[in-house]
Amino acid sequence: MPYDLKNKLVIGVASSALFDLTASDKVFKTKGEEAYRKYQRRNQDKILDKGVAFQFIKGLLSLNKVTESDPLVEVILLSRNDPDTGFRVFRSIAHYDLPITRAVFLQGRSAFNYIPAFNISLFLSGNEGDVRDAIAQGHPAGLVVKSDTDYGSLSDEAEIRVAFDFDGVLASDEAEKEYAAGGLASFRSHEKANAEKALAPGLLKSLLEGLARIQSVEMDRAKVDASYEPRLRISIVTARDAPAHERVVVTMREWGVMINDAFFLGGIDKGVVMDVLKPHIFFDDQLSHLASTSKFTPSVHVPFGVRNEEDI
C-alpha cells in the first residue's frame, strides 16, 4: 500500500537550508561543477555544520514521538545536487540522527514543481531563485536568512516555538496594499471597516493549519496522560496594533486556529521580542524586519506580495 502523505505535515527542505553550505557553494561558483563534484567526494565523510532551518526541522521531527503509530511530520530533502554530490548531505543527516529518509535529487534543477505532488506545506531553501519561482507558482516557500545565530542543540523533550508575521505570510497582502497605497491612516480606516471580515489565506496558511493539527494531537494526549506537557507553541509577531489587531483575531477564529502568543507591536522593533521569545524559526515578508530578527533567531524571508514587488 502506498505511503500516504495526505494527513501529514510535509516540509520540503533544501540542503542549503538544513546545513551550512558556504564552503561547497564557493567551490561550485568559482571552479565549476566538476571541481564541486570532486570536492564533495573528498569531503563526503566531513559532517556539514547546522544551517538556519536545522533546529526547526529537528524539532518538528521530534514531535513524531507524540503518537506511537502514524508519524505526524514528514520531511523530504529537495536537492539541486545529483545523488553523487548529495551523498555528503545524507551522511550529515545520519550523523545528526535526523529521521529523514526521503529525497529528490535533480541535478542543477529546482524541485519546486514537485511541491504539490508531495503535499508540501513549506519549501525552505537558501536559493533565492528557487524560492521566488515557487512563490510565483503560488507554492508555500521561504528563503533562509543568513545570520550569526548560534543554532545550538535541541533535546527531544524541548518546547518547539514557531513564530509568524501575519500580513503577507499567514494572510494575504490585502491590508499591506492599502498601507502602500494610502499610508497609515488609510490602512487603519480600511481595517476598521473590515474588522469583522477574515482576510484571505496567505502562502503559509497550510503550514499553520498543519501545526495546529499537531497541537490538537498533543492536547488529546495531555488529556489522557497527566505527565505530558504539550511542546509545540505558535506565535504571531506583527506590526499591527489596536484596533487593527481585531482582524487578526477574527481571521484566526474563522480558520479554526488557536494561537498561543500574539505580539501587536505597532512599529516596535521585532528583534527585541525575538531576543526574549527565541523561536526556533520566524517567518516575515519584509527584509527590513528580518535584518533585526536574524540577530536573535533563525529567520525566513517569504518574498510575497506588495512588500516585495520592487525586489522582483
Q: Which of 118, 144, 170 lies at the terminal end of a domain, its last residue?
A: 144
CATH code of the domain containing 173: 3.40.50
Domain hosting 176: range is 160-311
Phi, psi dihedrals of residue 298, rounded to the nearest 5°: -55, 130
How confident is the chain (312 residues) per 10-residue block, as mean pLDDT?
Answer: 85 96 91 90 94 96 89 94 88 96 88 91 95 95 88 76 97 89 86 90 97 96 93 96 92 95 95 95 96 95 88 46
Task: Provide the residue type at 215 as one letter.
Answer: Q
Residue 175 and residue 121 share a domain: no
Instruction: Tell me the pTM.
Output: 0.94
Residue 189 and residue 114 share a domain: no
Active-site pick, 20, 165, 173, 284? 165
Cα separation, 201 vs 167, in Å, equals 10
176 inside domain: yes
The DSSP string of 241-260 is -TTTHHHHHHHHHHHT---S
CATH code of the domain containing 115: 3.40.50.1000
155 inside domain: no
150 inside domain: no
154 inside domain: no
Determine how β-strand 299-301 pairs with β-strand 141-144: antiparallel
3 inside domain: no
Q: Any catalytic annotation for residue 70?
A: no
The DSSP string of 118-146 is TTEEEEEES-HHHHHHHHHTT--EEEEPP
Total of domains in the chain? 2
Determine how β-strand 120-125 pairs with β-strand 102-105: unpaired
Residue 226 and residue 188 share a domain: yes
Residue 286 and residue 201 share a domain: yes
111 neighbors 118 (Cβ within 8 angstroms)? no
Q: What is the pLDDT of residues 1-20, one digit of tens each?
A: 678 888 899 999 999 999 99
Residue 86 and residue 171 share a domain: no
Residue 234 and residue 123 share a domain: no
- Number of Cβ atoms within 10 Å of the Cβ of 159: 14
Residue 237 and residue 109 share a domain: no
Residue 203 and residue 140 share a domain: no
pLDDT score at 152: 67
272 inside domain: yes
Q: How far is CA 25 from the centre of its chain?
A: 22
C-alpha cell at 308: 516585495
